[in-house]
Structure 1
């Protein structure tokens, strides 16, 4: 990898607080581009245009991600004086349609929680831990990474809030409902004390429960609840949290804050919920709704 791209990655880490996974993805995309067309700080516009052929077999989302990485690099290179031109216009720009999130229905949520509550009735630690995990996924809308990495100090005590560290190191306060508070309290009373761990959900000698293990636990619970494991994941529960709150009348800006979205456009995907409900809302709340055509 060239010195210019290394400097760009260092800038992302230092100035924008990019997460490790984000940096790894940028590094991979830039490295592959340089393998195809050479040093990005010196390569020609024609060489940049040739990447369309290199990426022809890729999915539109992959092409869009790679092109975004290069556009940001070229902007940085121009700002730093390494390039006199910005060849980003030669990059392919596939049109993407954001897929709608998979969402669990209320009956599926009820079945999942009924099974988890039944299994946790006897205070078996792993069963209580699983109930706590799904309460926080669905009750607070946490990302899988945010959930498994919660420090013990984040456990709500004096106030019903979690301090969550999200993407890029951004922190936010997330409310915790009564059910989740009860589950967290039960888990804290059963949580292993040895070896000492700074995590709310410890695993191994010094680490925490992994994202992969969280996926496995949730899918196994879904199967025991008579649900299709392939249709359920931590992110699906997060989507259900958002969709069901919006159905209940939550404001989109509030939802953006709760989910930790940097851009409101990311949150707007949840406006797909229940078109009939939205029509009914307009008909009942609009100022003209109570007026007749003869008024």
Structure 2
């Protein structure tokens, strides 16, 4: 049975009771329900919003000496908000996390104002911490191919169908640019024999069409032929050792093992393969708009970061090869 907006909101709000006063907890559930209905956020994304707001409320409780009520939130000063962020910063939390916490609190504050439940002006009066911009770290073409090749793990004491399964998942990450959650969310019917493209549901429940290249299709068919479990059309395509849905952690561990064997850096993760998909397409003349569609990015600016990666790679090659760089 499909999860309703109310179900997703209630699930996300579960556990906030200890961090919030009753009036705040009720308002939080209304905020999450609005996010679920208007922005069509997934249950996991809603839970992340709720978790971040919970951290803020717990820190406010420590700072104020009691669980904050709605009037307490309206009475907050910029100094109160800075104290909350400073307490997390003192624990070594990264600026990006502080920005996320503040963003969740501001979103909740806008909901309160919209519903006539008070205005938390202190949240907008505090400047968000600066986040250093980092570029995605793709792996090389040769490394990506090696990660997707079951022969790379031929020496491991694992069943052939498990190696074929992991190779098929990794092939989808690199060959189709899928997120790991998108690959593991595929049903057997979505990738039936003869399929050349699939409809993927990504972030915000947005769907997109993704074409599948021959090596990816071959890897999936190899897995299908070896999988010891029946693959019903409406059930998950990729199975764990006991036949249940495959856990993302299993794929992450497989990549970690190969990363060590291939001498790759820690940045070579399953998600790095999605970065590699975009970067390698761009370096071979791929259209930026087309890559945006393939990745499912809502904004072109998100995809444009890969042009910086490509330019950085060119500069590194120039520095390494030009005879006058060190002249």
Using structure 2 for the length normalisation, give the TM-score. Answer: 0.75
Structure 1 pair 274/188, CA: closer, same or farther in 2 (3 Å)?
same
Quote how far apart the aligned CAs of 1:193 are: 2.7
Aligned residues between the structures: 276
The residue that corresponds to 1:64 in the other structure is 99
- Aligned equivalents of 1:18, 1:202: Cα separation in 2: 26
- 1:177 Cα deviation from its structure 2 partner: 0.4
Contact kept, 8 Å, 1:203 with 1:209, in 2: the verdict is yes
Match of 1:77 in 2: 112
Partner of 2:35: 12
**Which of 24, 33, 36 is the equivalent residue of 2:56?**
33
Map of 1:175 onto structure 2:
211
Q: How many Å separate the matches in 1 of 2:127 and 2:120?
A: 17
For the 8 Å contact 2:190–2:198, the answer to whether it is kept is: yes
Cα deviation code 1:270-290 (max 9, x no counterpart): 1113328989xxxxxxxxxxx
User: Does 2:83 align with 1:53?
Assistant: yes
Distance in 2, matches of 1:152 and 1:114, equals 22
**Aligned equivalent of 1:219:** 256
Looking at structure 2, the residues matched to 8 and 117 of structure 1 have their Cα atoms a distance apart, in angstroms, of 48
Greater shift after overlay, 141-150 or 23-32?
23-32
8 A Cα contact 1:41 1:77, kept in partner: no
Residue aligning to 1:293: none
In structure 2, the residue matched to 1:163 is 199
In structure 1, runs of 5+ residues without a counterpart are 280-295
Shift of 1:91: 2.8
Q: Could you tell me which of 309, 312, 316 is aligned with 1:273?
A: 309
Tell me how far apart the structure 2 counterparts of residues 162 and 267 of structure 1 sit (CA, whole Å).
21
Pick from 11, 22, 27: which aligns with 2:45?
22
RMSD: 2.8
Please show how residues 197-236 of structure 1 align to structure 2 within 5 Å: 198-203=235-240, 207-224=244-261, 226-228=262-264, 230-236=266-272
Q: 1:156 to 1:174 in 2, by over 3 A?
A: farther
TM-score normalised according to structure 1 size: 0.83
1:163–1:172 Cα contact (<8 Å) kept: yes
Deviations 1:154-176 (A, max 9, x none): 10544411221211222211111
Q: Please tell me whether the aligned partners of residues 70 and 117 of structure 2 are also in contact (alpha carbons under 8 angstroms).
A: no
Which runs of 5 or more structure 2 residues have no equivalent in the other structure? 1-19, 316-327
CA distance in 1, matches of 2:119, 2:304: 38
Question: By how many angstroms is 1:15 displaced?
Answer: 2.2
Between the aligned partners of 2:263 and 2:251, the Cα distance in structure 1 is: 17
Query: Secondary structure of 1:116's match?
Result: helix
Cα displacement string for residues 94-149 of structure 1 (whole angstroms, at most 9, x for unaligned residues): 222331111111232344345637849xx921222122122111100111111122
Q: Give the 3 Å change call, closer, same or farther, for CA 86–46 of structure 1 in structure 2.
A: closer
Aligned to 2:7: none
Aligned with 2:69: secondary structure? coil
2:188 is equivalent to residue 144 of structure 1: no
Q: C-alpha displacement at 1:49, in angstroms? A: 4.0
